[in-house]
Amino acid sequence: MTTIVQISNLTKRYITTTALSDVTLEVPEGHIVGLLGPNGSGKTTLMKILAGLVSPTSGTVLVDGIAPGVATKAKVSFLPDVNHLDRWMSVGEAGSFYADFYVDFDRKRFDELLTIMRLSASQKIGSLSRGMVEKARLSLIFSRRARLYVLDEPFGGLDPLARSQVLDALVANFRADCSMILSTQMVADVERFFDDVAFLDGGRVVLAGDAEDLRMRRGASIEEIYREVYGHVETRQV
């Protein structure tokens, strides 16, 4: 099986802190990987490295066989955890902006996604609610025919209905020739979409594996395993 992301012994140090420490992780082609962990566990740093926005201190990172840089940016569709769109643009203009930047941007798919998300191209970004901005951003990100989708907290600010619209768009658009890595705090809502999960704690991978395998071996949901891993063990009735 082809591997789209290959991370070995990755460490990222900032002047006073170590954000990632000896991380080794693989993402096979066609898989959706859940990157889980509390705030400050290193998820965003890892995703920014994959997006080519932060450079590693040591270790190797390969995206489709290439170290992150200009070439991989053409293959990686990245959703940052904060709004990256200009407020003065309309949704449609943001689409044109993306089309200029990325050759893999599919305008037709963008229009279809806007319909699914119940957005119109003429709406100004600045006039949208937080949830609607999220949906517009996700429409842009999914309109690229990328090799790798890196989504940092794609469900923040979405109401339950919008969340199911986004999940539906995600399933409808997911292809066997790409991979997706996404971080989320809404483990229970999204865990059925993960092929694999990786739990980060203090910049280290403390547990990783096939989601179904983990369920079977531990007789627990991914969300319950999350609580166990991070020490908020609930008293469960036997």
Query: By the 8 A CB rule, do 161 and 138 touch?
Result: no
Site for another protein in 5-44 (CB under 8 A): 30-32
| Phi and psi, residue 210, nearest 5° | -70, 130
d(CA 50, CA 182): 12
The alpha-helical segments, DSSP class H, found in the chain are: 43-50, 70-73, 91-101, 107-116, 130-142, 160-173, 187-190, 211-218, 222-229
* Between 193 and 230, CB nearer to another protein: 193
Binds another protein by CB under 8 A, chosen from 215, 227, 228, 230: 215
- The per-residue b/e assignment along 183-210, b for 16 or more CB within 10 angstroms, e otherwise, is bbbebebbbebbbbbbbbbebebeebee
Site for another protein in 173-212 (CB under 8 A): 174, 188, 191-195, 212
Span from 15-23, 128-136, 148-156, 222-230 in contact with another protein (CB under 8 A): 222-230
Minimum distance between the CB of residue 1 and another protein, rounded to whole angstroms? 12
* Between 22 and 29, CB nearer to another protein: 29
- At residue 190's C-alpha, the angle toward residues 19 and 215, to 5°, is 90
Span from 44-52, 53-61, 110-118, 169-177 in contact with another protein (CB under 8 A): 169-177
Size of the site for another protein (CB under 8 A): 24
* Between 32 and 85, CB nearer to another protein: 32
Span from 18-26, 55-63, 100-108, 221-229 in contact with another protein (CB under 8 A): 221-229
Amino acid at 56: P
The verdict on 96 binding another protein (CB under 8 A) reads no
Minimum distance between the CB of residue 57 and another protein, rounded to whole angstroms? 33
Minimum distance between the CB of residue 27 and another protein, rounded to whole angstroms? 13
Query: By the 8 A CB rule, do 63 and 41 touch?
Result: no
Residue 222, Ramachandran bin (φ over 0: left; ψ between -120 and 50: alpha; else beta): alpha
The verdict on 223 binding another protein (CB under 8 A) reads yes
Binds another protein by CB under 8 A, chosen from 221, 227, 228, 230: 221
Query: By the 8 A CB rule, do 12 and 45 touch?
Result: yes
Q: How far is CA 77 from CA 80, 118, 160, 187, 232, in A?
A: 10, 22, 24, 22, 34
Site for another protein in 109-168 (CB under 8 A): 164, 167-168
Query: By the 8 A CB rule, do 63 and 76 touch?
Result: yes
* Between 118 and 192, CB nearer to another protein: 192
Q: Where do contacts with another protein occur on this chain (CB under 8 A)? A: 30-32, 164, 167-168, 171-172, 174, 188, 191-195, 212, 215-216, 219-224
